[in-house]
Amino acid sequence: MNLSKILFQIGAKYRNPSLWKHYSELKQTEKYSFEELQAYQEFRLKKLLSFIGLNSAYYKELFQKSGINPQTLTLKDFFNIPITSKSELLSRKPDIYQEKKFEKEFLCETSGTSGEVLTFYRNESWDSFNRASMLRGYSWHGVKPWESNLYFWGYNTGASERRRIRFFDFLLNRYRMFDYDEKSLLSLEKKLPNVKYIEGYSSVIYELANLMEKRGIIHKNLKMIKGTSEKIYPHYQDVVKKVFGHKIISEYGAAETGIIAFECSKGNMHINMEGVYVETDENNEIIVTNLHSYSFPIIRYKLGDSVVLAPRNKKCKCGLQHPIIEEINGRVGKSILGENKKYPSLTLYYVFKNIYLKHKVQINYQAHQVEKGKLDIWLKEEVSDKMKDLILVEAHKYFDTDIDLNILHRTNFREQSGKLRDFITTID
């Protein structure tokens, strides 16, 4: 057994004790027929709803008003549960939490690209199942999670948090990079021959491929390239496939919903039926129930994305019977343009996340850019000098003096800016 595998397993046992149990079950259920998957899904759904009907003040009240008995609950009762939104999760958060406390929980937060940041706790089994779902997706591409990998993702800038992340990156045999800086990307040239998979911001993966192409460097020893949190544009795929031998595959999900779908080796996005129950409304907006969300129930949650589901009779050559999502609309990953550099749009997520973690100040925001090197931050809250200083100090750690921030109070920014998920307008 190699050292990377040993370290990964030690880290997994410490952080996610039930990871391999969930992974083993997922590898079994991926062989199920669609009917077997439906039965499994219904079992998980009833078990979750029975539990929250007894342990969540919010759902106790809701079930009583709706005449739903959590002990004899049916799918018909499930469809009578009102659809919920992020704003409702925020406003009723204390009541939604389970009265039962879990031995191990993990703090999670949404990216805030909808203008609303939600923080909540995942119980260990929920967190482990989500990670196991990811690892199952990796297995479809022949990837072992302890293999050397490159990770384009953000991080907290605090010293203690950096040390913690570096430690876990070491256990995961991972080299992490955050920005678009050409010098930083070029420093990866010597590492790439040993890397087996790349994941993270699709825009940064595209930038790296562009640089390698210009230098005439081809790396086709990779097993998988996975993009997440941003839209993958067709022109990304051309250069990425030319340089790395694979296209960028998609993982679809959110912090609150977990993994919704993962792309198989044949190019289809399969819904993670063991983890989520997916519905769509008359406008094709996706509605998600997380079947493992015991500590903070995510029930009939409108995520804000529009999706196109494949016809049920569409078969995939990979053999999976899990339904297919043909198209995901509504999430657009763009860049923030500084005077000298480009930054992933989710850089702002880390700015406001850090403010919350350090100062317990939750800020609802949108960002708009119409001029290179300048960025407007719209806040719902009144902008006090203290709040403005918190934002400017934290943003400076990421942007330095490359971007001039203008912080404004806009109570009606929801109406002014249209679709919140497309929260940033950039110039080309």
333-346: pLDDT as tens digits: 567 889 988 887 76
What is the mean pLDDT of the segment spanning 320-349? 81
Q: Which pLDDT value is given to residue 111?
A: 65
Q: Which pLDDT value is given to residue 179?
A: 60
Residue 215 scores a pLDDT above 60:
yes
Q: Which pLDDT value is given to residue 143?
A: 97
Question: Which segment of 50-64, 102-116, 310-324 scores lowest on mean pLDDT?
Answer: 102-116
Q: Which pLDDT value is given to residue 422?
A: 34
132 touches 23 (CB < 8 A): yes
What is the mean pLDDT of the segment spanning 374-393? 89
In whole angstroms, what is the distance from residue 239 CA to residue 243 CA? 6
Residue 75 scores a pLDDT above 80:
yes
Q: Which pLDDT value is given to residue 356?
A: 78
In whole angstroms, what is the distance from residue 367 CA to residue 353 CA? 15
What's the pTM value of the predicted model, to 2 decimals?
0.79
Question: Which segment of 88-92, 153-157, 186-190, 289-293 scores lowest on mean pLDDT?
Answer: 153-157
In whole angstroms, what is the distance from residue 265 CA to residue 79 CA? 34
Sequence-distant (6+) residues with CB within 8 A of 357 are 156
Residue 201 scores a pLDDT above 90:
no
Q: Which pLDDT value is given to residue 127?
A: 97
Residue with tokens 């995939």: 316
Q: Which pLDDT value is given to residue 334?
A: 63
Q: Which pLDDT value is given to residue 419?
A: 35
Share of the chain above pLDDT 70, in %: 90
What is the mean pLDDT of the segment spanning 363-386? 86
Residue 87 scores a pLDDT above 70:
yes
Distances (CA, A) of 71 to 40, 47, 103, 299: 18, 9, 25, 17
Q: Which pLDDT value is given to residue 169?
A: 81
In whole angstroms, what is the distance from residue 391 CA to residue 150 CA? 30
Q: Which pLDDT value is given to residue 158?
A: 64
Residue 374 scores a pLDDT above 80:
yes
What is the mean pLDDT of the segment spanning 309-337? 86
